[in-house]
Amino acid sequence: MLLKDIVDLTELKFDMATRRPQTEGVKRKISEVDKRALEAAIQLKEKGGGELIALSMGDERTKTSMLEALAMGADSAYIVSDRALVGVDTLATSLVLAAAVRKLGSFGLILCGEMTLDSLSSQIGPRLAELLDLPQVSYVKRLELLNGKLRAERELEDTDEVVEVALPALVSVVREVNEPRIPSLMNIMKAKKKPVVEWDAASLGLSADEVRAASSVEVLKVEAPVVERKHIIIKADTVEEMVDRLAKAILAEGILEE
């Protein structure tokens, strides 16, 4: 089970002078689609048994998000945390996660969200499947285990598709797959007693320098776009006249065509 903790986008603010996001002190949480993948994994475990392991690449702040995963139903959590790997791209991240999966040992299914809501790249799942030589099923909105195989309903642009895949496999889900549960207070308390293991690059047999060398994408800056308003004020004596003037102003701006 792959999870990523991100800043709570509903609490994100921007510095008006620099247009840069202000992330310091902003609450972090599991990316929403990843949380739905977690819920799908929990439901499969409840029906068929097995062990559910949450795996994430992050830092010391990731522990808080992993506690939520443990409270929801994960049995243990593993976090790859290495300062030397901060800011690497999706390829380098996939290399690290692949090494972590190999270290964990045998598995039947890897679940993740189709994308994380901070980067929207949709690359980790497919890259990891390729590195681990696994069949992958993407954009899944419904899934079940039948006789050792996984049956999934995929949401494509203009149709739905039902496929079956032999295990082990990697599956990425869409938001529509379910509604995540809210953990009870009892389960939140139990989560604090579940194992949380931290690894660095060396623990996975990786060289941090080599991993960084594989990272070819560098984010130079993130800033909000400049939005300039024209402050056009529509005045009229009647509603009908106001609507007419508003419509003409919209047409004049080229927003709509006649």
| 227 CB-contact burial (10 Å; exposed 0-12 / middle 13-18 / buried 19+) | exposed
Are 180 and 39 in contact by the 8 Å Cβ rule? The answer is yes
Burial class (CB in 10 A: 0-12, 13-18, 19+), 255: exposed
Positive or negative, the CA dihedral 137, 138, 139, 140 is positive
Q: What is the pTM of this model?
A: 0.84
- Tens-place pLDDT, residues 177-190: 999 999 999 999 99
Question: Residue 78: helix, strand or coil by DSSP?
Answer: strand
Give the pLDDT score at 51: 96
**125-168 pLDDT, tens digit each:** 999 999 999 999 999 999 999 888 999 999 888 899 999 999 99
Q: Where are the alpha helices (DSSP H) in the chain?
A: 32-48, 62-72, 90-104, 124-131, 185-191, 208-214, 239-252
Tokens at 97, concatenated: 């996660």
Phi, psi of 148 (to 5 degrees): 80, 0
Per-residue pLDDT of the chain (258 residues; tens, 9 = 90+): 999 999 888 887 888 888 888 878 788 899 999 999 999 999 999 998 999 999 999 988 899 999 999 999 999 999 999 999 998 999 999 999 999 999 999 999 999 999 998 888 899 999 999 999 999 999 999 999 988 899 999 988 889 999 999 999 999 999 999 999 999 999 999 999 999 999 999 999 999 999 999 998 888 888 888 877 778 888 889 999 999 998 888 888 877 776
Which superfamily does 5-214 belong to? HUPs (3.40.50.620)
What residues does each domain of the chain span? 5-214, 230-258
In the chain, what is the greatest distance between 2 CA atoms, to the nearest angstrom? 75
